[in-house]
Structure 1
Amino acid sequence: MIPSLFQAVPMTVDQATAILKWTYPPPYDFYNMETSEEAYAELLDGSYQAVIAHKQLVGFFCTGRSAQVPPGRPLHLYPDDHLDIGLGRQPELTGQGTGFAFCSFVLDTVKAKSALPLRLTVASFNERAIHLYEQLGFQRHAAFSTTHATFLIMTQSHT
């Protein structure tokens, strides 16, 4: 087996600080996070992993409730028959054709720890990510709207 370029490690305060400072260009600025006690608490609650390559922070992922968009919960769009995943990349690394390798690493890491099929939620305007997720075997499952955006829920069988 070829060793991975990537490594998943528990999120540290320094990594959380770096992630909270990431700024994405429009329209992806939708993903910019506000630095707050709540944001730190979520990033450090144990559901988030930092992804490292060449000793640099290149992204992160989370699983469980942290990966869900809360307005989808009362709509019963997150039944317990899937494991939710969420992920993010350092802004300078997006749109460069490296997403497939990054996402494959995240999916392999998550699948090694769970037998549940995977589910993710993505903003519907993010066609770049949706195309990537479809290449990785995700299928469009449901959609819902909030005051800020429309979201697409995508699912993948456990392979």
Structure 2
Amino acid sequence: MLLYLKEMDEIYAEKILRWKYEAPYDFYNNEYSVEDVQELLNSSYSAILDDQDEVFGFFCIGESAQVPIDADFGAYPQGYIDVGIGMNPEFTGRGKGLSFLTFILQQINEEHGALPVRLTVAAFNTRAIHLYEKLGFVKEKEFYRGDVVFITMVKGA
């Protein structure tokens, strides 16, 4: 599978915001809005296309990759590159996650050097957690946002 990086633009953002996942992953569905398009265009997001020029997924870094929380639970201490990812639901559950996340980690390493990486995942998403553990991520902290438990996972440099 050949993947390549593209600068996020309005067309890619609109496609991503219209993705619909099957339950229980419908938790990750977005509602299309002008504000959400602007969020994806804030320069911390990149689109990932496949060799058919389909939007295969995206990733973001920095604060955009963090789950907004009302209080400081110590979930996001300094010293990490936060990464958020999303894969087109057409490709999820088909064994493509390993190459997808490996591609993202290589892009981050090329741009930022060998720094520790952190991602946040909903605790119910055992499929993603298993993938992250396969790539060397370890669970660090748990916190709630509403009634959803989130886990931060880290991978050293």
Band the TM-score falls in, shorter-chain normalisation: over 0.9
Aligned residues: 155
Q: Does 1:25 align with 2:22?
A: yes
- 1:72–1:144 Cα contact (<8 Å) kept: no
RMSD: 1.3
User: Distance between the aligned counterparts of 1:141 and 1:127, measured in 2?
Assistant: 15
Match of 2:79 in 1: 81
Structure 1 residues without counterparts, runs of 5 or longer: none
Deviations 1:4-25 (A, max 9, x none): 7111111010000000000000
User: Distance between the aligned counterparts of 1:131 and 1:25, measured in 2?
Assistant: 19
User: Distance between the aligned counterparts of 2:154 and 2:71, measured in 1?
Assistant: 16
- Cα deviation for residue 37 of structure 1 reads 2.1
Match of 1:51 in 2: 48
Runs of 4+ in 1 over 3 A off after TM superposition: none
**Could you say what secondary structure the match of 1:16 adopts?**
helix
- Cα deviation for residue 41 of structure 1 reads 1.2
Structure 2 residues without counterparts, runs of 5 or longer: none
User: Distance between the aligned counterparts of 2:48 and 2:38, measured in 1?
Assistant: 18
User: Distance between the aligned counterparts of 1:148 and 1:20, measured in 2?
Assistant: 24
> Quick one: which amino acid aligns to residue 7 of structure 2?
P
User: Distance between the aligned counterparts of 2:107 and 2:56, measured in 1?
Assistant: 16
TM-score (norm 1): 0.93
Match of 2:32 in 1: 35
User: Distance between the aligned counterparts of 1:73 and 1:49, measured in 2?
Assistant: 28
Deviations 1:94-137 (A, max 9, x none): 00011100000001101111232100000000000000000000
Q: Which moved more, 1:29-38 or 1:42-51?
A: 29-38
User: Distance between the aligned counterparts of 1:79 and 1:142, measured in 2?
Assistant: 11
Closer/same/farther in 2, CA of residues 104 and 112 from structure 1, 3 Å limit: same
Closer/same/farther in 2, CA of residues 148 and 15 from structure 1, 3 Å limit: farther
Closer/same/farther in 2, CA of residues 33 and 148 from structure 1, 3 Å limit: farther
> Quick one: which amino acid aligns to residue 122 of structure 1?
V
User: Distance between the aligned counterparts of 1:36 and 1:137, measured in 2?
Assistant: 36
> Quick one: which amino acid aligns to residue 18 of structure 2?
K
- Cα deviation for residue 92 of structure 1 reads 1.1
